[in-house]
Amino acid sequence: MHGKVLLRGTITFVLVLVKPALWLGTLVHVIGAVPVHVRADSPRGARQTAAPALNVKPRDALPRQLTLPQESPPPLEGLESLRRVTHRSRPGDSIGKLLIRFGVSEGERNLWIRSIEKHYPGKKLAVGKDWHFYFSRSKPTLRDKNGRESLRALELELDEDWVLTWEKGNKGIVFTKRERPYEIERKTAGGIIDTTLFNDGARAGLDESLLSQLVDIFSWDVDFDKDIQRGDTFRVVYEERVRKGSARKPLLRILAAELVSAGQQYVAIYFDKEKNKGGYYDLEGRSLARAFLRFPLEFTRISSFFSHSRVNPILKVDRPHHGVDFVAGRGTAVRAIGDGKVVFAGWRKGGYGRMIELQHGFEYATRYAHLQGFAKGTRSGISVKKGQVIGYVGSSGLTTGTHLHFELYKDQQYVDPLKFEFPREDRIEPGLRRAFEDLKQILLAQLAATPHS
């Protein structure tokens, strides 16, 4: 019952593909199921660009199907000898009342109540939660002095993510918090651009969130508004995580991606340098990320570019446009492009309407204007993280329609956000290089096996 739950998919695939001497470096990077190929149809008359071959070392053919053994939360020790009673909490329930109902003695009740309230405070129980009571029934030594069944363990299904457990042992009652396991499936998709990446990506079966991830990954290398052309190709390996019985949408994350535009190949590999601290790297182990996101919202369409001279569509006069306008639906989430501090959040005169201004260290600042409103908690003085939602697209201020006006400053001077390049964040350290290379070869093999059409 006390073992930790491993949520990393199966390691069997890795052990088959990687030489024994490389096991240690590869065990931390687990592989899910074999690709389920989803693809886009090849458009008639599309410009056929020969994609450069992926640099994959020769390996045995990948199996057609892999299983994903997932460990469930470990069962209670001696479960077969315990009697389980499940109770779904109702209005007015308390742990004390339930213990009385199940015949737990006063001394035992006080012990359990003290332990439970340390980790689940409050006299009343949340309604609709399943509580599992485990009683001894076959071993006389586990009964109390009056011969009654003794409460040995208690479980609470807190939510879709967590299970709380209290178990009575020789040293008292031990508490554990266990994360529910994910069911993990690995898939691939590939296609050829006929109209737009978003249209043809969706036709290939890619969720909108995966397409947004793809744009974010390559946004510093590819201008998706101008560079993507008919006949360009894409391939991705992605992971789908779901919890059994959960009503939530699956968690989706790209693990490897290839984009070929105008004959230029771009490849990204997801690698965890630390647990839950991963990022995307090119084939040489250089980070594709920057200290800032390229765009302040999931990419849509640019309606107006940075310019020192532009006829204002409302005032009909020539004036500078020191920002970029992103067309997006009302209420679309606006993201902070980097870590920073909110120095202004309110109504700004001069046509900005509702606006947020962030300061990023000493050098950089950003503005987000024409907002419909601010995200909960967004106010002057708070700190925000890169990618954090700070507001929502609207049409406040001097504007002809719903869009986000975005500005970037360096040393208090306007900068064109679409032309400015921030330095890369980092690269793979020598000590992690072998693990990265092993994972890269496996993911490249899966990418290479994914057809475009």
Provide the sign of the torsion angle of the four alpha carbons 244, 247, 248, 251, taken in this order. positive
| pLDDT recorded at residue 248 | 78
Domain membership of residue 10 (yes or no) is no
164 with 211, same domain: the answer is no
Number of folded domains that form the chain: 3
pLDDT digit string, tens, across residues 2-47: 443 333 333 333 333 334 433 334 433 433 433 443 434 344 344 4
Give the CATH number of the domain where residue 307 resides.
Answer: 2.70.70.10
Residue 295: the pLDDT is: 87
Q: Are residues 259 and 203 in the same domain?
A: yes
Claim to verify: residue 277 and residue 194 sit in the same structural domain: yes
Question: With 90 as the cut, is the pLDDT of residue 79 above it?
Answer: no
Lowest mean pLDDT of 27-36, 202-211, 256-265, 359-368, name the range.
Answer: 27-36
Q: Are strands 301-304 and 324-327 parallel, antiparallel or unpaired?
A: antiparallel
**Secondary-structure percent of the chain, ordered helix, strand, coil, rounded to 5:** 15, 35, 50
- Specify whether 283 is located in the same domain as 321: no
Q: Average the pLDDT over each of 13-17, 160-164, 326-330 and give the range with the smallest value.
A: 13-17
Judge if 398 and 308 occupy the same domain. Answer: yes
**170 and 205 both lie in a single domain:** no
Whole-number Å distance between alpha carbons of 269 and 283: 7
Which domain range does residue 87 map to? 79-179
The pLDDT of residue 304: 55
Per-residue model confidence as pLDDT tens digits over 55-66: 555 444 333 333
Written as six digits, the tokens of 290 are: 């920057």
Q: Measured between alpha carbons, how far is 390 from 450 in angstroms, rounded to an integer?
A: 38
CB 426 within 8 A of CB 284: no
| Residue 281: pLDDT over 90 | yes
Of residues 71 and 445, the one with the higher pLDDT is: 445
Mean pLDDT of the region 174-191:
90
User: Hey, which bits of 292-386 come out as E strands?
Assistant: 301-304, 307-311, 318-321, 324-327, 333-335, 340-348, 353-360, 364-369, 371-374, 383-384
Same-domain pairing of 139 and 218? no
Q: Is residue 294 part of a domain?
A: no
d(CA 409, CA 390): 18
Residues 424, 49: Cα–Cα separation, whole Å? 29
CA distance 25 to 10: 15
| 230 and 359 housed in the same domain | no
424 or 245, which is more confident: 424
Token code pair at residue 224: 């998706």
So what's the pLDDT on residue 226?
80
Distances from the Cα of 64 to the Cα of 61, 378, 446, angstroms: 9, 49, 11
Q: Say whether both 318 and 379 belong to one domain.
A: yes
Residue 63 sits in a domain whose CATH number is 3.10.450.350
Whole-number Å distance between alpha carbons of 259 and 229: 12
* pLDDT of the residue at 420: 82
* pLDDT above 90 for 349: no
Q: Where are the alpha helices (DSSP H) in 236-350?
A: none
